[in-house]
Structure 1
Amino acid sequence: MYLKKLLMLIILLASSTYSIAQITKAEKDSIYIQQVEDHKEPDKVLHAEPLYIDLIRDLGARKGEKEWNLGLGLTDNLKFDAYEALIEYEWAPINRLGFEVELPFTFYSPQSGVSRDSVPSNSLNSIKIATQWSFFVSEPMATSMAIGYINEFELSDFSNFGSPFIKGNIYNPFLVVAKRWGNNFHSLIYTGPMVEQNFITNKFHTTYDINTSFHYMITGTRNFIGVEFNKTIDNSDFDMTIRPQMRVGVTNNLLIGIVAGIPVSRENERFSSFLRLIWEPKHKHK
């Protein structure tokens, strides 16, 4: 009798341990998704955001969210190296509406044997202001959609700074559609025209961008690996750069993104690299 009770107890403990292990694995598989989609605030779907062509604010942004970004990049061209640096601040004053201000710089270094006069002058490229509104957010479908607009005041390079101060403007409306497949796989398309107006000649030039990205987010974390396909159509010319990338969380509110650039059909550009530091100050939840 005693042996029978002991055997039943062992079976019960074993089955309980198995159930707990199964629950823990299931919870772990979606732990970060549950943190984002907590149902305590307006709906929001967790999406992996591309690191090179990043969004103005998270899709389905919630009031009070904010983020600082510092970007550093290097592009190897045939005649010179281009060093990029940017600083940007983005925030959400109300639910689902985001704003961003960005200052992008470019510094140039000629390749060996190339005259300094033959490369572009260093510059604060522009002052970029942007907004983005998430008009569709569905947690059951794990899908979000947004429209946005970037206005870029182009500035004269440092050698001609102030003559004029603003030399042109870029008008860039865009559409974003993102879908998460299961818990880990993410896809996103970011597309729209870029209309550049030169204030000196009063001429307009239009290109069209189609940026697609695919990511795999590591279970229970904010870390991911993925790739962007940045495509530009300029009349009959087509350029594409493939950007494999990864994002790693250092602390709860500090992330590092690492991007490589592989040009497919660019005549003058070779390999490039880009590093993005992302800091998210804490904000109050409802």
Structure 2
Amino acid sequence: MNIKKLMVLSILLVSSFYSIAQITNAEKDSIYIQQIEDQKEPDKVLHAEPLYIDLIRDLGARKGEKEWNIGLGLTDNLKFDSYEALIEYEWAPVDRIGLEVELPFTFHSPVNGTVKDSIPSHQLNSIKVAAQWSFFVNEPMATSMAFGYINEFELSDFGNFGNPFIKGNVYNPFFVIAKRWGNNFHSLIYTGPMIEQDFRTNKFHTTYDINTSFHYMISGTRNFIGIEFNKTSDKGDFDMTMRPQMRLGIADNLLIGIMAGIPVSRENERFSSFIRLIWEPKHK
């Protein structure tokens, strides 16, 4: 009799543990989503943000959010290598509004015996300021939309620095739409024109960018793998670079993003790589 009771008790315990495991697995996918979406107001949808063409701030940004980014990249051109470095700060002064300031640098190194004087000079490319407004955030649809604007004050290279100091301006309005499919799959479209004005000649040059990205976010974490397709149309000329990427959380508020650049139809650019270090100071 005692043995039978023990067997029944064992079966009940195993069944209970199995049920708990099933619940845990079912809930695991939504742990981090719940932390983002359900704890605070206003509504916010968790989206995977691309690492190369990153957003000004999270879609549906909440007041007080802030983030520092440091980026380092290498591009293999035919005649020289380009080394990118950037530092940027983004924050949300009010709900739904994100602001950003960025300083991007580029350094060049000749390859294959190229004469140093024939390659571009090192430079602080520009001073970039930007704003983004998330005008649509819908949790049941897991969809967000935003309008934004980037203004880029283009600077002279270090060889001619200050002559003039600001040589041009880039006007870049953009539109973003992002959708999460279930708990793990994410898609995003980021598109808009880039209108470049040369102050020395007062001429304008316009290109149009269409950037699409697809990501898989690992359950219960902020880690993801995915790919960006960065596409540019310039008066009938079409260029595209594929950027497979991954993001890893290395601390509660520190992440690292790693990606490669594979040009599909670029005449002068070959493979590239880029690393982004993301630090999110805690906010109330």
TM over 0.5: yes
Report the equivalent of 2:248: 248
CA distance in 1 between counterparts of 2:243 and 2:114 reads 28
Return the offset for 1:10. 2.8
Residue 170 of structure 1 corresponds to 170
1:22 alignment counterpart? 22
CA deviation profile, 1:211-232 (whole Å, cap 9, x unmatched): 0000001111111100000000
What is the Cα deviation at residue 12 of structure 1? 2.3
Q: CA deviation at 1:264?
A: 0.4
- Note the C-alpha offset of 1:2: 4.7
CA distance in 1, matches of 2:215, 2:29: 16
The 10-residue stretch of structure 1 (62-71 or 107-116) with the greater mean CA deviation from structure 2: 107-116
- Taking the TM superposition and a 5 Å limit, the aligned residue runs for 1:1-286 are 2=2, 4-284=4-284
Amino acid at match of 2:231: K
Once residues 56 and 220 of structure 2 are traced to their aligned partners in structure 1, the CA distance between those partners, rounded to angstroms, is: 25
CA offset digits 1:234-282 (Å, max 9, x no partner): 0110000000000010000010000100000000000000000000000
Identical columns (%)? 83
Q: Distance in 1 between matches of 2:156 and 2:3?
A: 88
CA RMSD, Structure 1 to Structure 2 (Å):
1.0
Partners in 2 of 1:160 and 1:11 — Cα distance?
80
Runs of at least 5 residues in structure 2 that lack an aligned partner in the other structure? none
3-state SS in 2 of match to 1:230: strand
Amino acid at match of 2:127: I
Aligned residue type for 2:201: T
C-alpha distance in structure 1 between counterparts of 2:272 and 2:80, whole Å: 12
C-alpha deviation, 1:51, in angstroms: 0.3
Q: State the shift of 1:29 in Å.
A: 1.6
* Large movers: runs of 4+ above 3 Å: 1-8
Q: How far apart are the structure 1 equivalents of 2:53 and 2:22?
A: 38
Q: Distance in 1 between matches of 2:26 and 2:92?
A: 32
Q: Which piece of structure 1 moves more, 6-15 or 45-54?
A: 6-15
Letter of the 2:185 counterpart: F
Q: Secondary structure at the match of 2:35?
A: helix
Deviation at 1:36, TM superposition (A): 0.5
Count of matched residue positions in the alignment of Structure 1 and Structure 2: 284
Q: Which residue type is aligned with residue 92 of structure 2?
A: A
In structure 1, how many angstroms separate the alpha carbons of the residues matched to 2:283 and 2:106? Answer: 32
Using the size of structure 2 for normalisation, the TM-score is 0.98
Structure 2: how far apart are the matches of 1:274 and 1:13?
51
Per the TM alignment, residue 181 of structure 1 is displaced from its structure 2 partner at its CA by 0.5
- The alignment partner of 1:159 has SS state of helix
**Aligned partner letter, 1:238:** F
Distance 2:102 2:6 in 1: 68
1:39 Cα deviation (Å)? 4.2
CA shift, 1:3, in A, is 5.0
User: For 1:34, what is the secondary structure of its paired residue?
Assistant: helix
One-letter code aligned to 1:165? F
| CA displacement 1:42-80 (0-9 Å, x = unmatched) | 111110000000000000001000000000000000010
Q: Take 2:40 and 2:153, find their aligned partners in 1: how far apart are those partners? A: 39
Structure 1 gaps of 5+ residues are none
> 1: CA distance between counterparts of 2:277 and 2:119?
29
- The 2-side partners of 1:139 and 1:16 are apart by 33
Residue 281 of structure 2 aligns to a residue whose secondary structure is coil
Task: Give the counterpart letter for 1:19 in structure 2.
Answer: S
Q: d(CA) in 2 for partners of 1:236 and 1:216?
A: 33
Q: Which amino acid aligns with 1:171?
A: Y
The one-letter code sitting in structure 1 at the alignment partner of 2:268 is N
CA distance in 1, matches of 2:246, 2:2: 58
CA–CA distance in 2 between the matches of 1:80 and 1:249? 33
